Amino acid sequence: MDLNSFFQQSYSRRPGLHVRAPGRVNLLGEHVDYNDGMVLPAALDRAVYLAAAPTDDQIVRLQALDLGETAAFRVDQVQDKVDLEGRPLPTWAQYPAGVAWVLLESGLEVNGAQVAYTSQVPIGAGLSSSAAVEVGFAALWRAMGGWSVDNLNLARLCQRAENQYVGVACGLMDQFASACGVDGHALYFDTRSLEWQPLPLPGGTVIVIADSGVRRSLTSSAYNERRRACEQAVEILRGYLPDICALRDVSPPEFAAYSVYLPTDVSRRAEHIVKEIARVESAVRALERQDAQIFGALMYAGHASLRDLYEVSTPELDTLVEITRQLPGCYGARLTGAGFGGCTVNLVDEGHAEGFIQALSEAYQQRTGKQAQVYLCRASAGVEVMPA
């Protein structure tokens, strides 16, 4: 059913507003956003869509089309994380509720609303469907409330909602990409200074996503463990490099000199971060030269590092990446997002894209017995609000 009909069926009226909030794919710079590093995501042409109408009863009603579930909460009770009957809000409803909470905390108006929404971003696949939900709701309340906060700061509010209300310790990359995406461009984003710049992808290349079909859970302790290892590395290295605040501040030669003082596991995690940040810098220079070969080689190196040093890959993701080495027209491939399942991202010559998609799906099925969803995607614009 289309979203408008679903809205009408749910609320017996027509929606007043539509919101489109894209998912994201990360081309390079994985797990560096919580180490103050630089990342290179792009907003996707797959998005979360909201249809909404304001109400004056201070109640937010949610209809999640894909989940077939409904929930509602009172704006003035949002801090209690309960629905209208006082029952705990289900996790999926905590994302919009968390956004309402953080907006109120920041003194911004949150309107009562009837909302129906649907996600074209596959859920739990590492393409940031939850960040898209957050950014979509934040943009909706901004449009209804008439207050003005720019998209970058909207993303920061959404990250705070996820950290403090939902309880997931994510960085800022996903919300940033969903809010600030630029059509046809990757986004070079410095997560410390918050400066960013759109960069065109090498001419004649396209992005292909391959979904391994293995689902991940970001709330799993593995993500938090990785964060803790990075913090531990900073604490120890500060004994030798007193001016560092984050792994961002450690250069590869400094790391080589002092990594012997780190426990083995912590050293491997930190090595990934230090070198991944350097890879992003090299990748940006490659993009400026429109050099798809070098960019792709950095993607392959990034994957090997996520597999061997950061240990967030899975056999399925490794298989998807390995297969591409034999496929004509593929410049680079790597897992994208947090890992532990989800998708790979591939940089492919435009003329070879169709053959690549078919060959990758077939070889993956042959090797694993599993079905991968492999599809072309375009870097798209960030969140948009339109009259319905």
Residue positions annotated with a catalytic role = 174
- Residue type at 169? A
Shortest Cβ distance from residue 316 to ligand GLA (Å)?
18
Collapsing DSSP to helix, strand or coil, 224 comes out as helix
174 lies in the binding site for ligand GLA (CB under 6 A): yes
Shortest Cβ distance from residue 56 to ligand GLA (Å)?
35
CA-based Rg of the chain, rounded to a whole angstrom? 21
173 lies in the binding site for ligand GLA (CB under 6 A): yes
Q: Which residues contact 348 (CB under 8 A, 6 or more apart)?
A: 205, 206, 207, 208, 329, 330, 331, 356
170 lies in the binding site for ligand GLA (CB under 6 A): yes
110 lies in the binding site for ligand GLA (CB under 6 A): no
Shortest Cβ distance from residue 67 to ligand GLA (Å)?
21
Shortest Cβ distance from residue 128 to ligand GLA (Å)?
6
Residue whose CB is less far from ligand GLA, 191 or 267? 191
134 lies in the binding site for ligand GLA (CB under 6 A): no
DSSP, res 242: T
Among 96, 171, 296, 341, binds ligand GLA (CB under 6 A): 171
* Contact predicate 298/194, CB 8 Å: no
Shortest Cβ distance from residue 204 to ligand GLA (Å)?
27
Among 23, 98, 136, 337, binds ligand GLA (CB under 6 A): 337
* Contact predicate 376/207, CB 8 Å: yes
Binding mask 67-86 for ligand GLA (x = CB under 6 A): --------------------
Shortest Cβ distance from residue 174 to ligand GLA (Å)?
5
Collapsing DSSP to helix, strand or coil, 244 comes out as coil
Binding part of the chain for ligand GLA, among 170-178, 179-187, 269-277, 353-361 by CB under 6 A, reads: 170-178
Shortest Cβ distance from residue 167 to ligand GLA (Å)?
13
Sign of CA dihedral 289, 294, 300, 301: negative
Binding part of the chain for ligand GLA, among 48-56, 165-173, 253-261, 295-303 by CB under 6 A, reads: 165-173
Using CB under 6 A, which residues numbered 189 to 218 contact ligand GLA?
218
Binding part of the chain for ligand GLA, among 26-34, 74-82, 235-243, 319-327 by CB under 6 A, reads: 26-34
338 lies in the binding site for ligand GLA (CB under 6 A): yes
- Residue given tokens 């803790």 in the structure block: 228
The site that binds ligand GLA (CB under 6 A) totals a number of residues, namely 13
33 lies in the binding site for ligand GLA (CB under 6 A): yes
DSSP, res 89: P
Q: Which residues contact 268 (CB under 8 A, 6 or more apart)?
A: 308, 309, 310, 311
* Contact predicate 334/300, CB 8 Å: yes
Among 7, 11, 34, 196, binds ligand GLA (CB under 6 A): 34
Paired sense of beta strands 69-74 and 59-64, if any: antiparallel
Residue whose CB is less far from ligand GLA, 64 or 170? 170
* Contact predicate 65/385, CB 8 Å: no
Sign of CA dihedral 228, 229, 232, 237: negative
For residues 220 and 228, what is the distance between their CA atoms, to the nearest angstrom? 14
Collapsing DSSP to helix, strand or coil, 185 comes out as strand
36 lies in the binding site for ligand GLA (CB under 6 A): no
For residues 144 and 354, what is the distance between their CA atoms, to the nearest angstrom? 42
Binding part of the chain for ligand GLA, among 42-50, 133-141, 166-174, 203-211 by CB under 6 A, reads: 166-174
- Token pair for residue 208? 């292909």
Residues near ligand GLA, by CB under 6 A: 26, 30-31, 33-34, 128, 170-171, 173-174, 218, 337-338
